[in-house]
Structure 1
Amino acid sequence: MTGLGLVTPAGIGVDASWAQILSGESAAAKDPNLEGVSVDISCRVPGFDATELLGRKHARRLDRFVQLAIVAAREALADASLDAKTWDGTRVGVVIGCGMGGAATWEEQHRRMLEHGPDRVSAMLIPMLVPNMVAGQLAMEFGAKGPNLVTATACASGATAIGVARDLLRGGACDIVLTGGTEAGLTPLSIAGFAQMGALSHRVDDPGSASRPFDSGRDGFVAAEAAGVLVMERPADASARGARTRAHLAGYGASADAFHATAPDPEGAGAEAAILAALADADVAPSDVTHVNAHGTSTPLNDVSEART
C-alpha cells in the first residue's frame, strides 16, 4: 500500500481525520437532514463542498458516494507520488466497496416523480444510483482501463475490495489498483430503515456517547458517511520506483456464516473462519498478532458474537 486518501466525518484528508481521531472528540451530531426520523443523529463529512472540490458538473451529476471517493482517490494518488497522466492505464485497476450506492439520488428523484410526474425524472438517475458507478467514474477520472469492480458485502465491502485488489495484483492482472470503500447513505428513508431494524442507537440527546461498542448499555451505532482509497502495488514494483510503503497486506480471508439476514452467528463462526483464513494466507500465528481492529457495531447481537470469536 503506497498511497492513502480519506474523506471522513473526522475531516477531509488523512491528516485532518487522524488529528480529529486522536483528539477523542466524537463526530456524531444532530442532523437537520433527518428531521422527523426517530433517529436524527449521524456522522457527516464536515465542510464537504462538492462544487468547490470537484466543479459544478460533478457536483450536479454525481451522487455523494462517488464524490467522496474521487476526493479520497486524488489524495491517495498524490500520497503515492503517482501521476495518472503518465501511467499505462491498461495496467491500472479499480476495486471499490460500496453497499448502498446512490441512496440520496434515489430518494430525491422519487420525490420529484411524485411531485411532477415520471417524465420529470432525471435521465441521470440510473448512472447516479448504481454502485458500480463509483469504480467507473474513478476509471474515467484517472484513465484506469484495467479490471473495474465494485464489491457489495455490507459492512465488509471495503475490506472485500482490498482483498480482491490484492488478488488482481498477485495474479498479474494489474500493476496498480485503486481500492477501498465509500458510502453516503444518510437519507431519511435509509436511516428510518436502519432504525426500524434495531441497528441504530436511540440516544439522540447525547450523540457523542451514543455509540458504545462492547458496553453493557449499548443499543446500536450512529450511521456515517465516508470514503477511503488505497493505492496498492506489488512490493517489487513499489521498490523499483522508490515509493514509500505505508503497509504490506500479509493475508486476507473471507467467509459467510450462512446464519441470518441481519444477525451474526451467536458463536462468531463466520468471523472465526475469515480470521483463520487470513492467518493461514499470511502464514502468521495468532500469537504474532499485536492489534485487532474490531467491527464493534455497538449492537446487542454483533458485539456478543464478536467477543466470542
Structure 2
Amino acid sequence: MAGIDVAVTGLGLVTPAGIGTAASWAAVRAGRPTAALDPALEGNPVRISCRVPDWDPGQLLGGRRAHRLDRFTQFALVAAREAIADAGLDPQTWDGARVGVILGCADGGPGTVETQHRVLVEESPARVSPLLLPMQLPNMLAGQTAIEFGAKGPNLVVATACASGATAIGTARDLLLLDRCDIVVAGGSEAMITPLVMAGFAQMGALSRREDDPATASRPFDLDRDGFVAGEGAGVVILERAADARARGARIRARIAGYGATADAHHMTSPHPDGLGVQSAVRTALEDAGASAGDVQYVNAHGTAT
C-alpha cells in the first residue's frame, strides 16, 4: 500500500498531569513531575504512584454510566471524546459501519476484580456484582467505546504489555490501508494502580523505592536507577487516510509513515541482551516508511528505569 498516508487528525488525553491534552502538554513543558506518595497504597512495599488527579467520572460521564464502568474504560471514553472533537468529527453523522475502535490494554480492570473478590470473601457469592465481567474484561474497553460513539466497524483490544497502545495504532493503520475502515479510534488505556497489582510489581523488583523523593524516583538513564513509577490514564488518536482527511478539510496533526512489530522470543520480562528485537522492529518500521536512519529526528525511548 505504498504511497497511502495515514493521518492523525485528533488527540485526546487523560494523564496524571490532568484531563485533556492542554493540561498534559503544560506539565510536560514545565517539567512538572506527577509522582507522589499514594494513600491508597498504604501498607504496600512501594507507595509511590502517578494518579490522574481530581477524577470525577460521574461529572464527566454521568453517574449511571460511570457506575457501570471500570476506571480504565472511564479514562478511554473521556480521552476518545476529546480526540473525536479535536478531529472535527460528529458521531451523530458519521457512517458508524466504517468506524473502527482498536485500543490497547495490558490488564483490564483489576480494581473491579479486587473489589468484587472482597465481596466474595467477606460476604457471599450471591453478593458479587453481575457487572463484574462486563466491567473488568479487557475487550470491553473497545466495546464500551463503540457503544458510546456508535462505531460499528472492527472492534478489538490488543494486549502487548507496555507496547499495547503502539500496537493498537499500528493495527489501526493496517485496517485503514486495507480499506476495512475510514476512521479508527486508536490508542490505549490503563488503570492498574491497585494494591494487588502494585504488590506484584514490587515483588518483581520492578518499582522504584525512592519514597523519600517521589518526584525524582523515575530516572531511566541514571546509573542508580532502581525501577519505574506506576502511572495510569489514557491516550487516544483519531486515524484516517490522509487523502480522506484532506478532502474534508481536517487538520492533520501528524502522519503514521511506517510501523514495525517484532518479538525477542527470549525471556518473559527481560529484552534480548543485544537488543535484537528492537533493532528488527526499527528496521521494519523504517523500511515500511521508505526511510533511512538518517531521516529520524526524534526517538521516544521506552525508558522504564528497570
TM-score range, shorter chain: over 0.9
SS of aligned partner of 1:84: coil
Counterpart residue number, 1:226:
233
Counterpart residue number, 1:245:
252
Measure how far apart 1:274 and its partner are.
Answer: 0.6
SS of aligned partner of 2:231: coil
Counterpart residue number, 2:5:
none
Using structure 2 for the length normalisation, give the TM-score: 0.97
Larger RCO, structure (CA 8 Å, separation 6 or more): 2
Counterpart residue number, 1:170:
177
SS of aligned partner of 2:162: helix
5 Å matches for 1:130-279?
Answer: 130-279=137-286
Could you tell me which amino acid in structure 1 is paired with residue 190 of structure 2?
Answer: E
Measure how far apart 1:3 and its partner are.
Answer: 0.2
Provide the rounded CA distance (Å) in 1 between the counterparts of 2:280 and 2:164: 17
Query: Given the alignment of the two structures, is residue 20 of structure 1 paired with residue 1 of structure 2, yes or no?
Result: no
SS of aligned partner of 1:86: coil
1:70-89 deviations in Å (ceiling 9; x for gaps) = 00000001100000000100
Could you tell me which amino acid in structure 2 is paired with residue 170 of structure 1?
Answer: L
Cα pair 1:58 1:67 within 8 Å, conserved? no
Provide the rounded CA distance (Å) in 2 between the counterparts of 1:263 and 1:280: 26
SS of aligned partner of 2:25: helix
Measure how far apart 1:113 and its partner are.
Answer: 0.6
Provide the rounded CA distance (Å) in 1 between the counterparts of 2:60 and 2:135: 18
Single out whichever of 53-62 and 120-129 deviates more from structure 2. Answer: 53-62
RMSD of aligned Cα (Å): 0.5
SS of aligned partner of 1:154: coil
Counterpart residue number, 1:95:
102
Measure how far apart 1:51 and its partner are.
Answer: 0.6
Identity in percent:
65
1:122-174 deviations in Å (ceiling 9; x for gaps) = 00000111001010001000100000010000000000000000000000000
Provide the rounded CA distance (Å) in 1 between the counterparts of 2:124 and 2:75: 30
Could you tell me which amino acid in structure 1 is paired with residue 186 of structure 2?
Answer: T
Query: Given the alignment of the two structures, is residue 291 of structure 1 paired with residue 301 of structure 2, yes or no?
Result: no
1:47-102 deviations in Å (ceiling 9; x for gaps) = 11011101111221100000000000000011000000001000000000000000
Segments ≥4 residues shifted beyond 3 Å: none
Structure ranking higher in helix proportion: 1
SS of aligned partner of 2:72: helix
Provide the rounded CA distance (Å) in 2 between the counterparts of 1:58 and 1:208: 35
Provide the rounded CA distance (Å) in 2 between the counterparts of 1:143 and 1:248: 25
Using structure 1 for the length normalisation, give the TM-score: 0.96
Provide the rounded CA distance (Å) in 1 between the counterparts of 2:118 and 2:221: 39
Cα pair 1:2 1:244 within 8 Å, conserved? yes
Provide the rounded CA distance (Å) in 2 between the counterparts of 1:86 and 1:101: 30
SS of aligned partner of 2:239: strand
* Contiguous gaps of at least 5 residues in structure 1: 300-309
Q: 2:134 aligns with which of 120, 127, 145?
A: 127
Provide the rounded CA distance (Å) in 2 between the counterparts of 1:58 and 1:222: 30
Could you tell me which amino acid in structure 1 is paired with residue 268 of structure 2?
Answer: A
Counterpart residue number, 1:58:
65
Provide the rounded CA distance (Å) in 1 between the counterparts of 2:212 and 2:192: 22
Provide the rounded CA distance (Å) in 2 between the counterparts of 1:160 and 1:20: 26
Provide the rounded CA distance (Å) in 2 between the counterparts of 1:275 and 1:61: 40
Could you tell me which amino acid in structure 1 is paired with residue 201 of structure 2?
Answer: F
